[in-house]
Structure 1
Amino acid sequence: MTLTEQLKGQMKQAMIAKDKVRLGTIRMALAAVKQIEVDTRETLDDTQVLAVLTKMVKQRRDAIEQYTAAGRDELAQAEAAEVEVIESFLPKALTEAEIATLIDDAISATAASSMADMGKVMGALKPKVQGRADMGAVSAQIKAKLQ
Structure 2
Amino acid sequence: MFDKVKSDLLASMKEQDKFKLGVLRMLKSALQMEQINIGHDLTDEETLTVIRREVKKRNSSIQEYEKFGKTDTVQDLKHEVEILESYLPAMLNDEEVEKIIDEVIETFENPDIKSMGKIISLVKEKTNGNADMSKVSALVKERLS
TM category, shorter: 0.7 to 0.9
Assess if the C-alpha contact under 8 Å between 1:112 and 1:121 holds in 2: no
The 10-residue stretch of structure 1 (94-103 or 126-135) with the greater mean CA deviation from structure 2:
126-135
Residue 22 of structure 1 pairs with residue 20 of structure 2: yes
1:42 match: 40
Assess if the C-alpha contact under 8 Å between 1:53 and 1:86 holds in 2: yes
**Letter aligned with residue 4 of structure 1:** F
Residue 68 of structure 1 pairs with residue 66 of structure 2: yes
Distance in 2 (alpha carbons) for counterparts of 1:27 and 1:131: 24
Write out per-residue CA displacement over residues 47-67 of structure 1, whole angstroms, 9 at most, x where no aligned residue: 222222122112112212222
Residue 143 of structure 1 pairs with residue 141 of structure 2: yes
Higher relative contact order structure (alpha carbons within 8 Å, sequence separation ≥ 6): 1
Alignment of 1:1-147 (within 5 A): 3-109=1-107, 113-147=111-145
Distance in 1 (alpha carbons) for counterparts of 2:135 and 2:78: 21
Assess if the C-alpha contact under 8 Å between 1:106 and 1:121 holds in 2: yes
Q: Extract unaligned runs of 5+ from structure 2.
A: none
RMSD: 2.1
Assess if the C-alpha contact under 8 Å between 2:104 and 2:122 holds in 1: yes
Q: Extract unaligned runs of 5+ from structure 1.
A: none
Helix, strand or coil at the partner of 2:61: helix
Assess if the C-alpha contact under 8 Å between 1:90 and 1:131 holds in 2: no
Aligned residues: 145
What is the CA distance between 1:135 and its match in structure 2? 0.8
Assess if the C-alpha contact under 8 Å between 1:64 and 1:76 holds in 2: yes
Assess if the C-alpha contact under 8 Å between 1:7 and 1:30 holds in 2: yes
Write out per-residue CA displacement over residues 120-146 of structure 1, whole angstroms, 9 at most, x where no aligned residue: 222222244355332111111112223
Assess if the C-alpha contact under 8 Å between 1:11 and 1:27 holds in 2: yes
Write out per-residue CA displacement over residues 65-85 of structure 1, whole angstroms, 9 at most, x where no aligned residue: 222322322222211111110
Q: Percent identity?
A: 32
What is the CA distance between 1:111 and its match in structure 2? 5.5
TM-score by length of 2: 0.85
What is the CA distance between 1:4 and its match in structure 2? 1.4
